[in-house]
Amino acid sequence: MKFFIDTADVAEIKDLAATGLVDGVTTNPSLIAKSGRPILEVIKEICGVVDGPVSAEVTATDHETMMKEAALLLKLADNIAIKVPLTVDGLKTCKALSDDGIQVNVTLCFSAGQALLAAKAGAAFISPFVGRLDDIGINGMDLIADIADIYANFDFDTEILVASVRGPQHVIDAAKLGADVATLPPAVLRALYNHPLTDKGLDAFLKDWAKTGQSIL
Ligand code: E4P
């Protein structure tokens, strides 16, 4: 399973990329706004930090302007994935870009039918938002299961990119369902490392080790 980082905070991305476990980055207009930086500058910088795909989202709502924005974003680096919303114009843009060999991440997916359309439009990634579904009382992970079932019936190349992840349990559940990618807020990746018994066990090991007076080096 690949881990992307869901942020436009370059310091966080650099810190987590150093773990060697980061396979890509996703951004969205809200995350760019939160960074307080110009989109083209911040996306270019992120692309220099990670080798994998960096999703940069168009902000136009019509196909023609989406294509113009995508062309500009694609000039920034070789590892850009264009992110488009799951709308008629977004999928039209997805099809056009995918036909040209460009990776497209289709975002704001909330139903299996939408995921089927994105795959037919050639999306490299479909981003179902599990947390936002949970927020309205619908089990987001059921959507991941449905999409996985549907995609298994065909030879789509589209990868399931679990988005709107709120905690480690979402990551574990998505992994059990065989999702290809999860995009994680930095705090969720850090939380995955933690277990109180790990801390307790290490503490005991170190205390016993100190009593021996030995040193490996
Ligand atoms: C990722 O591509 C999405 O934009 C992101 O995961 C949305 O997460 P949120 O629902 O926490 O805003």
* Tens digit of each residue's pLDDT (9 = 90 or more) over 77-134: 999 999 999 999 999 999 999 999 999 999 999 999 999 999 999 999 999 999 999 9
Q: What is the pLDDT of residues 175-208, one digit of tens each?
A: 999 999 999 999 999 999 999 999 999 999 999 9
Tell me if 163 CB under 6 Å of ligand 1. yes
pTM score: 0.97
Q: Which residues contact residue 200 at a Cβ distance below 8 angstroms, ignoring those fewer than 6 apart?
A: none
Q: Are 2 and 24 in contact (CB under 8 A)?
A: yes
| Helical (H) or strand (E) element with 20 | none
The pLDDT tens digits of the residues spanning 27-60 come to 999 999 999 999 999 999 999 999 999 999 999 9
Give the residue, out of 2, 28, 184, with the most ligand 1 atoms within 8 A of its beta carbon, to mutate for a pocket test: 28
Residue with CA nearest ligand 1 atom 12: 164
Alpha carbon dihedral 143, 144, 145, 148, in 10-degree steps, equals 120
For the chain, what percentages of helix, strand and coil (3-state, to nearest 5) are there? 50, 20, 30
Residues with catalytic function: 83
